[in-house]
Amino acid sequence: MCKHTFVLWSDGPVCPVFLSGQAADSVLRRHKRYNTGVFEELLQGNLERECIEEVCDLEEARETFENDEKTMEFWAGYVDGNQCKPNPCLNEGSCKDQVGDYTCTCVSGFTGRNCEIARRCDVNNGDCMHFCESMGTFGAKCSCATGYKLMQDGVKRAHEGKGTTVICSISCRYSKLFSPSFIQVALVARSSGQLFCGGSILSERWIITAAHCLVEAGGSFSIRVGKIHSRHMIRKLCLKWSQHVHPRYNATVSLYNHDIALIYLKTSITFSTTVRPVCIGPKAFTEALVKGSSPATVSGWGRTRFLGATASTLQKVEVPFTDRTECKHSSSARITSVMFCAGYYDEAKDACQGDSGGPHTNSIHDTWFLTGIVSWGEECAKEGKYGVYTRPPVAGSDFSPAFPQGWREC
């Protein structure tokens, strides 16, 4: 077996390999990291000792802060620098540093990764969950239906809680399980016991219906709530205390113009998972929703066909919004500014006699809003004809101040 011998040499003078003890000590000297005689593991974490004098790992940083949130806040800037310096968020947005990234929290009216986009109500509803209000150069401001409040991002909504006495507190909580029967009421003539119109629950004491229903009733009637079968709809029977037709409604001039009425009940409706009020929104929001969230849901116990028998169980149908020009051309009667059309040109899907006063509803983000009131039509589902609905007098409309105080509270 052969051995190879390697010899290192230098043309210069040969230096000694070993240093003196004093010289070696000067090379190997290090900063003290703990008090003499104490094990490092027994010391509480110290930021200067662990992560400034030396490079530390995540576990050592966690021992220092003893709090995961503070640890990660420090770690984000320690590992790769602070991504928020300088602040990349525009329009007064606040920046939160992350490892290799950052997030911007935008002030109301702006959106985008760097808050660079001014929200617009006419684009995706300003990214608002419910209502959007234009703020000009300041973008858009989001707000919520009664019973909801804005989250910190100013866009999403959170329910205010079961204990808060507000409209829609029950309706919106269970809105994913929505059924027209939840908000629907029946107007029943006392003399005959016959159901003649529908209506919608606005609050524990207020019902909204069509004004012509009260004119045609001609006498006393009751409100029935809580069942979908007309013969057994006796879970809750409410007596009316007072009724208020729209101040501009005049049946002698037009039976259907401003066809809205409110009924105030003697006793309160008890809300539950299957009995609840419908939500309402501002005028601009409602008008945009009825067009942008088509088709809408219409319900009632009316006739199943023109001059046919009334339904024994609550019926519902989805009807699309009809272009206003098409709506006017299709009708032999005048379509006023407070009316709109919905339905099909040649499909047998429509509201009919007995459905008047009932709800026309649209949803947005699992929240249902009243967008119309069943009013009138030329026969039912007649080819070339559409159902005609009254726009609800929502807050902000030109005639809502004339309604009772209870209406404005709704």
Which residues are identified as catalytic? 212, 259, 356
C-alpha distance from residue 306 to each of 97, 340, 348, 352, 397 (Å)? 66, 21, 11, 7, 34
Q: How many CB atoms lie within 10 A of CB 290?
A: 22
Q: How many CB atoms lie within 10 A of CB 90?
A: 15
Asked if residue 178 lies in contact with residue 280, where contact means CB atoms within 8 angstroms, the answer is no
Residue 270 has which token pair?
A: 């008890």
In three-state secondary structure terms, 319 is strand
Strand segments (E) across 71-189: 94-98, 101-105, 110-111, 117-118, 131-134, 140-143, 148-150, 157-159, 184-189
Residue 207 has which token pair?
A: 């019902």
Alpha carbon 382 to chain centroid distance?
36
Asked if residue 105 lies in contact with residue 111, where contact means CB atoms within 8 angstroms, the answer is no
